[in-house]
Structures are given as structure tokens and as C-alpha cells.
Structure 1
């Protein structure tokens, strides 16, 4: 499994789907605030003048030589909710990201947000 502590080493490496089709480049990892486990990656996609960051789940992600492979299809990932390359994820947008992939969403026990960037 991809370890969040290794983000500096993996940043800018390719993120590919199960068929090894390139989705984009790894930008950051978001962890679950309750467990500190890596949950989503932000992946840089788009043309050089119109880049954005899409969110891709890290469930069962694996690393290969120079890439991070995720289970999600390239097209689904590229159509995922996104933020600007210098943007931040608003707490109210978290449920949309989970929903896009058919994943259950719930806030933390005290109502706190679910994702934090590492």
C-alpha cells in the first residue's frame, strides 16, 4: 500500500489506472482525519495552461517502478471533483468526492471534516 510518509519521494510520479493508462501526476495525499491513513490522492491533469487537481481514491493502490497504480478507471478519475492547482478543498465539498466514486461518506465523530492534506 502507498504510504503517506513517502509523498515527497512520489510527488510528480505518474498515477495510472488498472490498465496502466496514465491519469496524471501525483500532487498530494489526503488522509482520513480519524485514522491518519491515506485515502485520496490529488492528481494533476489537463493541459499546461489549464491544469487542475482531481481526487482519486487510494484504496488498494500499489506502487510500481515510477508510478502509482489505482483501481479507478482513467475516465472516471479525470471527471472527478477537482480544485485549482493552488486551491484548497472546502469541507462542504468532501461528500461529492466520495459520492463520485460510490464511497460512503461520514464526518468524524465530533462532526469534523474527514480529509486532511499531507
Structure 2
């Protein structure tokens, strides 16, 4: 993902799957606690849908929105944790596994993501 983007600039943008089909709209962006880099986005999947977390590392930002390299069905089946709260290391691990990604575990690797951009940490993470 482009590392020089403003995470707040993603909120409200459309999100698309790997085939270019619209998934939903980015509700929140979750930052790494240690680096402040954007790690996950919560995407509202439909009018009455829920928020599904998508990894930002393999995703890209384009003029029309956020493009994630996964099928819409995989995104919609992602574990749901609700939004507005800090992601725990266990929740993050479940997300990495869901998307078939290796979690950062090497020395010096980023720490688990924190709360969403603009929220007040709740101290549960």
C-alpha cells in the first residue's frame, strides 16, 4: 500500500474487490500502535451490512477508492469485531489467517494495530 497517504483520506472512500466490484465504503482506518502506519480498514459492506476488516498492506489506493486484492465474498466473510475499538492481538491474528497472510512476528516487526483513526483508545488492547 502507498505509505504516504493520509489515513483519514480513506474514510468515506469506496472499496473494491480484486475484480473491481464494489465491496462498500471505508468507515475507519486502524493504525499500528508503534509506527502509526495504516494497517487495516473497516469497510461497511452494504446499506445494512456490517463492517469487515481488510488488510491495507496488499491493497492500493486509486482515484476511485481503495482496491483490495481479495474476492468480495472473502471480505464479507471476514471475522467481525465491531468498529471503534482497539483490535486485540488475537483478533488481528484471526484476520491475518482469514486472508492467508503471515502476521508480523520478526523482531522489530510492527506491533498490533491500535484503535481507529480519530478515536479515543479504550485501554482494552
**TM range, normalised to the smaller chain?**
0.7 to 0.9
1:30-55 residue CA offsets vs partner (Å, 9 max, x unmatched): 2233433222111111442xx32111
Give the length in aligned residue pairs. Answer: 115
Q: Does the CA contact (< 8 Å) of 2:10 and 2:29 recur in 1?
A: no
Matches within 5 A, 1:49-88: 51-85=49-83, 88=86
Q: Which secondary structure does the structure 1 equivalent of 2:66 belong to?
A: strand
User: Quick check: which one's strand share is greater?
Assistant: 1
1:40-93 residue CA offsets vs partner (Å, 9 max, x unmatched): 111111442xx3211111123222223111112211111111133555534432
Q: Does the CA contact (< 8 Å) of 2:88 and 2:112 recur in 1?
A: no
Q: Which residue of 1 aligns with 2:33?
A: 33
Q: Distance in 2 between matches of 1:62 and 1:74?
A: 16
Matches within 5 A, 1:1-118: 1-3=1-3, 6-48=6-48, 51-85=49-83, 88-105=86-103, 114-116=112-114, 117-118=116-117
TM-score, normalised by the number of residues in structure 2: 0.71
CA-based RMSD:
2.8
User: Quick check: which one's helix share is greater?
Assistant: 1
